[in-house]
Chains A and B, each alone.
Chain A
Amino acid sequence: MPRITKLLIANRGEIARRIARTAREMGIATVGVYADPDAGALFTREVDQAVALTGTSSAETYLHIPKLLEAARRTGAGAIHPGYGFLAESAEFARDVVAAGFTWVGPRPEAIASMGDKLAAKRLVEKAGVPTLPGLEVTAEMTEGILQQAREIGYPLLVKAAGGGGGKGMRIVTSEPDLADAVAAAKREAAAAFGNDTVFVERYIEASRHIEVQVFGDRHGNAVHCFERECSIQRRHQKIIEEAPSPAVDDASRAKLGEAAVAAARAIGYDNAGTVEFLVDEQSRFYFMEMNTRLQVEHPVTEEITGLDLVREQIRVAEGEPLSIRQEDVAINGHAIEARVYAEDPANDFLPVAGRLLAWEPDPALPARFESGVESGALVSPHFDPMLAKVIVRAPTRMEAAMRLANVLERLRVHGITTNRDFLVNVLRHEAFLAGDTTTHFIEKHEPPRQRTVSADEIAEAALAVALTTQQVNRAAARVLQTIPSGWRNNPSALQEMKLARGESTLVARYIRNRDGSFNYAVGEKSGVVQINGFANGALDLAIDGVQRRFALTSHGLQHWVQSTSGEVTFTEIPRFPEPEQQAISGGYTAPMPGRIVAVNVEQGQQVTAGETLIILEAMKMEHRITCSDDGTVGEVRVSTGQQVEAGDVLLIVESTGGGP
């Protein structure tokens, strides 16, 4: 195997940056690729060269094998790293890369293929003596035989895509009548996401943990494991908080899990980084779920506790070097937790959101490992995964790691679009999480608040921060009389005021400057004296009634995001002079996010009842149902299947006939 001197990274965002970083450290030149929406993105600027893949969809770009190979050829890259997602587990891509004479940074194509079909993989590891769950393959048509077998396994069942991963195409079915629909939907999603609509069902274990073992093999027959990660905290079957080691695994189980994972890896002659996923039930029994033949999203927690650079090992192994570590060299040092910050709305069923990220600034006073693909001003496109960053913290104990990560997230200035940040903080600070009571049902069971609970005092202080930041900006921008005291009056008749809306409620922040430069203020129920002790780079140090705190404000038009050490509060400014309002169309159903219409189930004139699915919108590779909220008649359908829509676009209008919820 030749040494790698130039590496093409066939991926985007944070993982492209992560791989490029290690490559740079190893003295390897880097080549990136980018789809049209990613032109100018951070990751394209951090590689030595970046090749335009020309196109918007994943299929036209990051999934387009000929374009990727051509990019490697044009730039003289000798090797290709697929990252995770996209083509990372495509045996076809791995084969084509090797056939084209490039070094493939990943396991042998055969190993990928053998694990790529979840069903086949399950059968393979069973033979190696690894425990698995009972299950069966299902077709679109529900034969009595299938239903019978399903009954034998017992409900609830989990429908899974054989070619899938990351929760896509997964459905839980609690009773037989729902099975057919779930299978159909899973097949549709699987076909779109993986190009393979094979699905299977297996017993669904309610209170289980998701625990996975990092394994590493080389081409010299060595295989080691790097202990487990627990990734039980999930929403929509996607991990959001991962940690290593698992609070539920003791040394004895750890040894058993490690052995089973290495056995599975050896069974297929595994020769790179991989992850063997297990489901662990309440009795601590573990079952093989699948093997991911790639670098995992959550690999940093393993790196943090072991001190290894998994990307470096991947590259070395791909160059034909033996593993730099033996099993006895790998040890656990401390506890690491990773939280994934997504552009999504936890209050709205975690639906992805897209838009302009106006501010992305970690608090420099609280260092943490940020694996992010974004920066202030970045556009979060609806075309790709909405993950903004992974934030990783390592501390001597799990408790310290959780508390610190919560603080880091809380102080992260992420303004402009809705994220799951506050939700992550609520999970990390939840008693059950801190107690290690983590199952894949954590969110449904413990229902951590989707949003931050903000006290009236905190809201008032944030509103005051908006008003006084605006005041500072106004004065700095004044073309005349700039140095005259703010809002000075020789015959004062009114306070300066700013009206702010927060959800349904409105708040007026009033203030007047005193001779000593402080301000008397009144916001909602709160009033007193506030002193501006500093204002630089959008950050305001306010001493409110003698207690100083820093507030950082990001504003976009009438939207204001206030970040303080206690978290974020957002407001919509009510302008002094109201503009003529856009009339809301009564009975209109609008797109909750940008996306593509995949199904229009109704037509004009049709009678519809509350709860009925009217339109299915696909965004971020997830299906979102637009359901009827009121009985009525479809007055107008404004979209058709395949059409791309923007958030807020009116999709159809239903003339209500009353009834419904």
Chain B
Amino acid sequence: METWRTRIDTRSDAFKANREAMLALLAEIDVQLELARAGGGERSIARLRQRGKLMVRERIELLLDPDSPFLELSPLGGYYTDYAVGGGLVTGIGVVSGVECVLAANDPTVLGGAINAISMKKTDRALEISRINRIPYVQFVESAGADLRRSGDDSVEAEMRRTLGHFAESGRFFHDITALSAARIPTMSIVFGSSTAGGAYQPGMSDYNIFIKERSKVFLGGPPLVMMATGEQSNDEELGGAEMHATMSGLADYLAEDELDAIRIARNVIGHYNWRKLGPGPSLPPDEPIYDPEELLGILPPDLRTPVDIREVIARVVDGSRFEEFKPLYGRTLVTGWASVHGYPVGVIGNNGVLFSEESEKATQFIQLCNQVDVPIIFLQNITGYMVGKVYEQGGIVKHGSKMINAVSNSTVPHITVIIGASYGAGNYGMSGKAYDTRFTFTWPTAKIAVMGPKQLAGVMSIVRKASALATGRHFDADEDARLTAAVEDRSEKESLALYATGRVADDGIIDPRDTRTVLGITLSACHNNEVKGAAGYGVFRM
């Protein structure tokens, strides 16, 4: 296999400037990560400590095998929202007793671990990752239940107008927990605190339950509700104490002395899962790239209009910087080829510019080749979209682009997508965006995701306004239009940022470019818990 020869000059001013810009973005993200780790803040932490409890990340660290890696998913979910960064839930993939597990752990310092829009989305995503990749699911339950607070105008009418959510649509995640079990993926709940009312079904639906003496409380209705419903006098311990559930109700399978004991038991139980991954193990030499991943900081310019050779990124991610390019002379704005990451063979598809018909056909063929030999695909997105214009439309750009989206949609080998720069319009779909059953989607701090570029969007809207004014004979205020155009560009720029996407859990997290290889390694290994098998068929390709 060929080894890429770099053309990057790490001593150039451009490289240094790129690097500085990237480090500034990373510093901003570090501040947010720190906020996420701080959870509900000093007072809540102090209260937790006073009660002799561990912080959620301390619990996770103890559960994980010493020196094993842990990939936290969507750590900045909730950014740009009313919710705390992280949403009061830590999710991720880690190794417990040699078994890769998906973890979902309530942070009791954030509103008592109450379920909110962000934590719900992260939970759903964790369950999905667990299901699609066939990874055992472990949840640390300590939750005050649903966040029933209403903000601002608290009239029922206002609330109804604000959200389309309905109770009848809630509770899907109990379904998903038991669906994992049915799919022969073990599930476990360690109940660190309260898990009441609807929350009681979290352990209720789990295969293994570990309760902690004098800490776990699991009941459908607490003493006040019981009093209201039946007039019966009762206390917490009688209704839902750990010892009661271990000795009487049978809801607890293991009774732990304390938090440490619970985590120890969990490690033992998972060690007995007899877990065998269905995918093949790494089979190629997992040597480090020849080129230092550190240099990934200086490759991408902050202005996404400057072209970047995606091969320079590939060379700093794949094993030994080895990359065997497929069809290098055809459809040159899309790079396709074979490589391996941490020993896992992969096909790589990366953008080197806008997509034309040739690129679309090349991608379609390459995706089918990967499926033919059960090889996962890494998508490296830096895409402004499919080419527009008379020549291209007449040349069938929609038809060819659709073929690519057809192949991406029906491909069954794992897709892992890293958005390093632009991700605009249908380019996002064709390059296996988040909505395309992609196993994992990560963004670099430089990523921008939108229907089109902010400048283009603002410009298009200005043209439409002008045309409308002309058509209806209204006066067109050029100054007002300039102000509007700037505002639209500004807002759409903001909403296209990686942090905005990650805040809405529209990705699995922003990663430091230097970690790309590591994150791909962890997620590829995660995917290989399930069978890795190419597609048996596709939608009809329009010819």
Contact = CB atoms under 8 A, between A and B. Distances in A.
A488 B260 contact: no
The 9 closest A-B pairs by CB, nearest first: A577-B264, A488-B69, A493-B57, A479-B98, A474-B67, A483-B286, A491-B72, A491-B75, A484-B69
B509 A490 contact: yes
B522 interface: yes
Interface string B73-99: 001000000000000000000010011
Nearest to A468: B67
Given A474-B66, A480-B525, A494 B61 contact: yes
Contact of B518 (A471, A485, A493): A485
Given A474-B65, A489-B69, A577-B261, 8 more contacts: A471-B66, A487-B66, A487-B67, A490-B75, A490-B509, A490-B512, A493-B37, A578-B260
Contacts, number: 91
B230 interface: no
Contacts of A252: none
B521 interface: yes
Contacts of B68: 474, 478, 481, 487
A470 B66 contact: yes
Interface size class of A (residues with CB under 8 A): 20 to 34
A478 B65 contact: yes
A491 B37 contact: yes
B71 interface: yes
Given A488-B70, A490-B519, A483 B58 contact: no
Interface residues of B, number: 42
A481 B95 contact: yes
B36 interface: yes
Interface string A609-647: 000000000000000000000000000000000000000
Interface string B509-543: 10110110011011001000000000000000000
A498 B66 CA distance: 9
B521 A490 contact: no
Contact of A481 (B261, B514, B521): B521
B343 interface: yes
Contacts of A479: 98
Contacts of B33: 491
A493 B263 contact: no
B523 to A, nearest CB: 10
Nearest to B509: A490
B62 interface: yes
A493 B107 CA distance: 14
Contact of B514 (A480, A483, A486, A515): A515
A491 B66 CA distance: 16
A127 interface: no
Contacts of B511: 490
A354 to B, nearest CB: 33
Contacts of B37: 491, 493
Contacts of A471: 66-67
8 contacts: A481-B521, A488-B69, A488-B518, A490-B509, A490-B519, A491-B36, A493-B58, A576-B66
A266 interface: no
A489 B93 CA distance: 11
B294 interface: yes
B243 interface: no
Interface in B437-455: none
Contact of B72 (A470, A485, A490): A490
Contacts of A481: 68-69, 95, 100, 521-522, 525
Nearest to A495: B61
B342 interface: yes
A471 B66 CA distance: 8
A515 B294 contact: yes
Contacts of A485: 69, 518
A496 interface: yes
Contacts of B67: 471, 474-475, 478, 486-487, 496
A29 B193 CA distance: 75
B282 interface: yes
Interface in B271-330: 277, 282, 286, 293-294
A107 B294 CA distance: 78
Contacts of B65: 474, 478
B454 to A, nearest CB: 28
Interface in A507-528: 515
Contact of B98 (A478, A484, A486, A487): A478
Contacts of A480: 95, 98-100, 277, 525
A150 to B, nearest CB: 66
Contacts of A478: 65, 67-68, 95, 98
A333 to B, nearest CB: 54
Contacts of B514: 515
Interface in B111-167: none
A470 B65 CA distance: 12
A480 B260 CA distance: 24
Nearest to A579: B264
B524 to A, nearest CB: 10
Contacts of A489: 69-70, 72
Interface string B212-231: 00000000000000000000
A484 B342 contact: yes
Interface string B482-522: 00000000000000000000000000010110110011011
A481 B70 CA distance: 10
B346 to A, nearest CB: 15
B282 A483 contact: yes
Contacts of B72: 489-491
A471 B518 CA distance: 18
A498 B293 CA distance: 30
A490 B515 contact: yes
A493 B61 contact: yes
Nearest to B98: A479
B511 to A, nearest CB: 6
Nearest to B60: A493
A486 B66 CA distance: 9
A483 B69 contact: no
Contacts of B277: 480
Nearest to A471: B67
Contacts of B515: 488, 490
Nearest to B75: A491
A8 B129 CA distance: 72
Contacts of A491: 33, 36-37, 72, 75
Interface string A568-582: 000000001110000
A13 B61 CA distance: 49
A496 B66 contact: yes
A578 to B, nearest CB: 7
B289 to A, nearest CB: 13
A479 B525 CA distance: 11
A486 B511 CA distance: 18
A474 to B, nearest CB: 4
Contacts of B71: 490
A490 B267 CA distance: 23
Contacts of A576: 62, 66, 260, 264
A470 B293 CA distance: 27
A400 to B, nearest CB: 45
Contacts of A484: 69, 342, 518, 521-522, 525
Given A485-B518, A491-B33, A577 B69 contact: no
Contacts of B61: 493-494
Contact of B521 (A483, A487, A496): A483
Contacts of B509: 490
Contacts of A577: 62, 260-261, 263-264, 267
Contacts of B58: 493-494
Nearest to A473: B67
A496 B525 CA distance: 23
A240 to B, nearest CB: 42
B440 to A, nearest CB: 12
Interface centre among A475, A490, A496, A577 (most CB of B within 10 A): A490
A13 to B, nearest CB: 40
